[in-house]
Amino acid sequence: MNEATHPARPIVRLRPNKAGARAVRHGFPWIYADELVLDRRSRALEPGVLAVLEDADRRAMGLVTVNPNSKIIARMLDADPGAEIDRAWFARRLTRALALRETLFDAPFYRLVHAEADGLPGVVIDRFGDTAVIQPNAAWAERLIAPLAEALTEVTGVSTIVKNGTGRSRTLEGLAEETVVLQGAVAGPVPVAMNGATYMADVTGGQKTGLFFDQRPNHAFAQRFAKGARMLDVFSHVGGFSLAALAAGAEAATAVDSSAPALDLAGQGARAMGAEARFTTRQGDAFAQMEALAAEGAQFDLVICDPPAFAPSKQALEAGLRAYERVAKLAAPLVAPGGVLGLCSCSHAADLGAFRTACTRGIGRAGRTGQIVYTGFAGPDHPLMPHLAESGYLKALFYRLLP
């Protein structure tokens, strides 16, 4: 039995008459706190410890990592309860992930590991050429960051590794926030070529890992409408859609964001592309800036709004949908007749249907009508785990607004 394989490894057990065992056998990677037998021993386990998961009949189901402080109390790591989670184990998972990305992309700029979908629960790794940024968003990954980083170097050959330990997910796991260069050195923003544009990724001080690779296919779709267009990029971060539009021949692009450092990076990207003369920025609250642009009578051929997650949880869903509706209502008047409005959501709690309803209602409240010409999602370097809806968080809707 598992105890013979690993006598020191604790055992956690699913409660009887729960759907959890069936879900795990079918591939669901999480066990919630109300699905596990919680006694004094299991509650005392250190966050991130490895344990053997058993069903109510004491049959081994696999190897999990446990965090008694988290609502997701256990995450499945390996179907083999005796698996050694060491450098070699990480290397096998990373090699599998790398094979997909090398098939998809000609250059090493992509999401290398997309958490559960790549078999590393709670772990995100973005690659920027010779630099990789790890987000260990679960306690087990924080405990095992050293062998993970060693395997990352072995498999990819990167010389610089940054640990970005920030974000809401770590807070939910009870982890402290910190950003540390684990290996190598970071001299400044890393230039990233994508869809013909040049982006500057701040891998030590920017949002998330420094750049959002997930919007790559949606940037490419927006470029179809960009040639000769006047373009507005709201919640632009480092110029995701605006720099893509400039690369595709936009007449002019304006980026709006509350973060002055992000807009500065966007400006650096525009200069690197030789498009500085066609690029302007407006720093401030995005809602206020859209209202100001409307008061100025400004209109654009292409408007994209890519806000932060307004509905990061089910509890925030109602308020989040109202915020998405407001974005659409404020953005629609800024679109010239026959122009295109792109609206995005990275909130996994807001499914596509609810998001589409909110956006369409907002456009209607602005007195505009339109047709949806494209529905986009994250790129293939952000694969979906079929059992886990949360892995498919990104939605993008492109409306052609009628005269």
Separation CA 219–CA 131 (nearest Å): 23
Residues annotated as catalytic (active site), given as ranges: 346
Taking the mean position of all CA atoms in its chain, how far away is CA 236?
15
The amino acid at 110: Y
pLDDT given at position 392 = 85
| Rounded CA separation 11/39 (Å) | 12
Distance of CA 402 to the CA centre of its chain: 32
Q: What is the pLDDT of residue 6?
A: 55
Where in the chain are the domains?
Answer: 2-78, 87-183, 191-401
How far is Cα 233 from Cα 241, in angstroms, rounded to an integer? Answer: 6
CATH number assigned to the domain with residue range 191-401, chosen from the 4 options 3.40.50.150, 3.40.50.720, 3.20.20.70, 3.40.640.10: 3.40.50.150
pLDDT digits (tens, 9 = 90+) for 95-139: 999 999 999 999 999 999 999 999 999 999 999 999 999 999 999
Average pLDDT, the chain: 95
User: Which CATH number does 2-78 carry?
Assistant: 2.30.130.10
Whole-prediction pTM? 0.94
Give the pair of three-digit tokens for residue 132.
Answer: 């990789």
Predicted local distance difference test score (pLDDT) of residue 361: 98
- Quickly count: other Cβ atoms within 10 Å of residue 337's Cβ: 10
Stretches where the chain sits below pLDDT 50 are 1-5
Task: Identify whether the C-beta of residue 126 lies closer than 8 Å to the C-beta of residue 202.
Answer: no
Dihedral sign, CA of 317, 322, 325, 330?
Answer: negative
Side chain identity at residue 202, one-letter code: D
Structure tokens at 195: 């869809």
Q: Report the candidate in 129, 299, 277, 279 with the shortest Cα–Cα distance to residue 203.
A: 129
Rounded-to-10 torsion of CA 207, 209, 213, 214: -70
**The 3-state secondary structure of the chain, one letter per residue:** CHHHHCCCCCEEEECCCCCHHHHHHCCCCEEEHHHECCCHHHHCCCCCEEEEEECCCCCEEEEEEECCCCCEEEEEEECCCCCCCCHHHHHHHHHHHHHHHHHHCCCCEEEEEEHHHHCCCCEEEEEECCEEEEEECCHHHHHCHHHHHHHHHHHHCCCEEEEEECCHHHHHCCCCCEEEEEECCCCCCEEEEECCEEEEECCCCCCCCCCCCCCHHHHHHHHCCCCCCEEEEECCCCCHHHHHHHHCCCCEEEEEECCHHHHHHHHHHHHHCCCHHHEEEEECCHHHHHHHHHHCCCCEEEEEECCCCCCCCHHHHHHHHHHHHHHHHHHHHHEEEEEEEEEEECCCCCCHHHHHHHHHHHHHHCCCCEEEEEEECCCCCCCCCCCCHHHCCCEEEEEEECC
Query: Rounded distance, CA 208 to CA 219, Å?
Result: 19
Task: Give the model confidence (pLDDT) of 339-362 as tens digits.
Answer: 999 999 999 999 999 999 999 999
87-183, what's its fold?
Transcription Regulator spoIIAA (3.30.750)
